[in-house]
Structure 1
Amino acid sequence: MTHVFNAPADFKEQFLTGLTAAYGRYLERVPGASAVMRRGGPRPGRVSVVIGGGSGHYPAFAGLVGAGLATAAVVGDIFTSPSAEQAYRTLRAVDSGAGALISYGNYGGDVMHFGLAELRARSEGMDVRTVLVTDDIASAPPERAADRRGIAGDFTVFKAAGAAAERGDPLDEVERIARKANDRTRTLGVAFAGCTFPGRDEPLFTVDPARMEIGLGIHGEPGVRTVDRLSARELAAALVEGLLAERPDGAGDEVALILNGLGATKYEELFVLYADVVRLLAAEGLRLRGPEVGELVTSLDMAGCSLTLTWLDGELAELWDAPADTPAFRRGAPLPDVAPVVAERAAVPEQAAAVDDADPGALIVRAALACARDRVQRDEPELARLVETAGDGEHGAGMVR
């Protein structure tokens, strides 16, 4: 259960305020947006890497902004995509002249809103590319890999893209590397119990205490199957077997590994599981490079974990090892501070131009919007109920907002 909050509707904004106050040496707020960016703004002449999605997944996404990783992160309400306007403002704020790569998990709201922001920025002359993360093997079969969700494998794609941008690669290369990392990344997750939104008394979903969900998504999307609780050794076997069955064509024997906690699984438990995972991977002849055990992509207070493998080659291994320095992830010696952008950034309008209240068309639009608002407010509980089975328990509140 989520215990610490004020007004639930303000949770995201207050979270970002506190994060920026605590880690101002790494990041700052994007003016006029629910987003954070690398302190001092983008590096002149370097590609900007913009990531994002709903809140409730920390360290993803805002905790991964800094040297060697993301230039900025756009954050929506809990488990809800940020708006196209927020994403657009962030793109403009980090425009260094070298273009931007947007990367995020493959979810409908994110695809729509980030896509609209990309189109708008492109129409204004900014070179923007998108790489969707599709690592969750439980969400679609191999022949439909492009339809898969993005879960903890987000991190390895962000890390590869961020390291490439940090060393000065052009946008074409940063995009190619991000796609390559995604193509070589596979994740499988499990859940033992559901998560609870701030202000709610009941979890978004429940799992029988004697059972577990295999393949459950990070927003509470249903798993592919429910099984009796497994021991750590049995769970390790299920995760490793599932991932190795989808080993990429031509992959070598070196992998980056992330054993990720979803929010309520203790680190000690993860290390118990890791010991069994390592034993099984070694038996398959795989070598681990820079394994990470901990929380990188969470789901509020969900009890569960996921295993991610990225099959490396020389290029991806170098990027995986590259230094990074962010609030939530640090590797190697901190990179030196860089000078902020000297050139004046493109102005972003704070709000739309005022409309003449005497305009008959404006009066009709205002009346229609007021009617829609009142109807959505009235039906908020029903809207939430209709989509709870899909894991979007905040749909009603999001529509009202």
Structure 2
Amino acid sequence: MKNLMNTPQTIVDDALAGMAAVHPSLQLDAEHRVIHRAHPKKEGLVGIISGGGSGHEPLHAGFVGEGMLDAACSGEVFTSPVPDQIMAAAKHADRGAGVLFIVKNYTGDVMNFEMAAELAAAESDIEIETVVIADDVAVEDSTFTAGRRGVGATVLVEKIAGAAAERGDSLQQVAEIARRAAEASRSMGMALTSVTVPANGKPSFDLPSDEVEIGIGIHGEPGRHREKLTSAAEITRTLMDPLLAELPGEGGVLLFVNGMGATPLLELYVVAKEAAAVLGEAGIPLQRSLVGDYITSLDMAGCSITLLRLDDDLADLWDAPASTPGLTMGGSR
């Protein structure tokens, strides 16, 4: 495989340094691999952090900024950050009103964020709340986690919780809103090709050119099954059917069509068109949407679909302004 890197050992540090170099709104704590806001929000507001293995860019560091995260910590590719990194991120984010941890449901992430929360309770006066994202309907358990994986809903929760913090909600209120958004979300993905981890230099799994993997994880974990490559309409319906079967509540939805890193936007909008048609057939109003590469898996070709059942408050928080390298919104639909 060909990669634009100096060495596999320095790729994460080089990428974080590059992000800080070109975005004046961000600063890098290189020792802890933490990207944080260069100009923290005002005192008395809740801080929000997240983090995880690298390789999913722009998640998480790309969502640091006004209206979303205050700081994010990065592990090695597909490897959780350690508790010391998470604590450093929490200290950068703390503005005196507590800090919310947004954690994808992977064993290493959950364990290390829990340890960091225990450290915060023992060694600092930072109050911590934690919300775990577990929205992937493809599997109950996988190589990386106990229970459902945290995938596309992570982006949506970071945006919604970030807006709640910016408007001055308390830590408990921000955490409740984040949990409500997480619990109202369902996701499922598919792969056209394998992911290639730079340190390995070869695909993580074999996938014949005429097959797709349905229910793939963002680290290349196996999905529900493989099937022959068919039309975008058929693949989209294969993803949408289990989402609609498990989507809680009633009313309209936010549709999030996410690219896995190597799928052109042209193709993602084809999937979005088909997903919107399925929602129309089901009588579900499409109220908001997001299409693009937001939680990726390095060079994997494929996509995921996330549905978030909206209420008025969640919709308003989604519409609130945000300014980050990975997502900018101006306060309108």
Deviation at 1:208, TM superposition (A): 1.4
Confirm or deny: 8 A CA contact 2:54 2:78 kept in the other structure: yes
Deviation at 1:125, TM superposition (A): 2.1
The residue correspondences of 1:275-290 to structure 2 (distance < 5 A) are 275-290=273-288
User: Which structure 2 segments of 5+ residues have no match?
Assistant: none
**Alignment partner, residue 233 of structure 2:** 233
Deviation at 1:210, TM superposition (A): 1.1
Q: Give 1:272's match in structure 2, choosing from 254, 260, 270.
A: 270
Distance 1:216 1:252 in 2: 27
**Alignment partner, residue 44 of structure 1:** 43
Deviation at 1:170, TM superposition (A): 0.4
The residue correspondences of 1:42-121 to structure 2 (distance < 5 A) are 42-121=41-120
**Alignment partner, residue 192 of structure 1:** 192
Confirm or deny: 8 A CA contact 1:2 1:197 kept in the other structure: no
User: Which structure 1 segments of 5+ residues have no match?
Assistant: 335-401
Could you give the per-residue CA deviations for residues 269-289 of structure 1, whole angstroms, max 9, x where no partner exists?
111121111111111111122
Confirm or deny: 8 A CA contact 1:62 1:73 kept in the other structure: yes
Distance 2:291 2:93 in 1: 31
Confirm or deny: 8 A CA contact 1:87 1:114 kept in the other structure: yes
TM-score of the superposed pair, with normalisation by structure 1: 0.79
Deviation at 1:152, TM superposition (A): 1.2
- SS of corresponding position for 1:115: helix
The residue type equivalent to 2:119 in the other structure is: R
The residue correspondences of 1:380-391 to structure 2 (distance < 5 A) are none
The residue type equivalent to 1:209 in the other structure is: S
**Alignment partner, residue 220 of structure 1:** 220
Distance 2:305 2:93 in 1: 32
Distance 1:146 1:43 in 2: 38
Distance 1:45 1:77 in 2: 33
**Alignment partner, residue 154 of structure 2:** 154
Confirm or deny: 8 A CA contact 1:2 1:300 kept in the other structure: no
Distance 1:69 1:324 in 2: 6
Change (3 A) 1:210 1:292: same
Confirm or deny: 8 A CA contact 1:57 1:298 kept in the other structure: yes
Distance 1:32 1:263 in 2: 28
Larger CA deviation: 120-129 vs 186-195: 120-129
Confirm or deny: 8 A CA contact 1:194 1:205 kept in the other structure: yes
Cα root mean square deviation, aligned:
1.6
Confirm or deny: 8 A CA contact 2:232 2:270 kept in the other structure: yes
Higher gyration radius (CA): 1
Deviation at 1:201, TM superposition (A): 3.1
Deviation at 1:93, TM superposition (A): 2.1
The residue type equivalent to 1:171 in the other structure is: L
> Matched residue pairs, number?
328
**Alignment partner, residue 322 of structure 2:** 324
- SS of corresponding position for 1:73: strand
Identity of aligned residues (%): 41
Distance 2:31 2:201 in 1: 33
Deviation at 1:252, TM superposition (A): 2.1
- SS of corresponding position for 1:104: strand
**Alignment partner, residue 169 of structure 2:** 169
Could you give the per-residue CA deviations for residues 70-128 of structure 1, whole angstroms, max 9, x where no partner exists?
11111111000011111111112222110000002101111111111111111122100
Change (3 A) 1:304 1:160: same
Distance 2:285 2:146 in 1: 27
Distance 1:259 1:137 in 2: 15
Distance 2:246 2:330 in 1: 31
Deviation at 1:32, TM superposition (A): 3.2
Could you give the per-residue CA deviations for residues 185-204 of structure 1, whole angstroms, max 9, x where no partner exists?
00010011111122533111
Deviation at 1:230, TM superposition (A): 2.0
Give yes or no for the alignment of 1:253 onto 2:256: no
TM-score of the superposed pair, with normalisation by structure 2: 0.95
Higher helix share: 1
Confirm or deny: 8 A CA contact 1:92 1:121 kept in the other structure: no
Distance 1:184 1:80 in 2: 27
Deviation at 1:30, TM superposition (A): 3.0
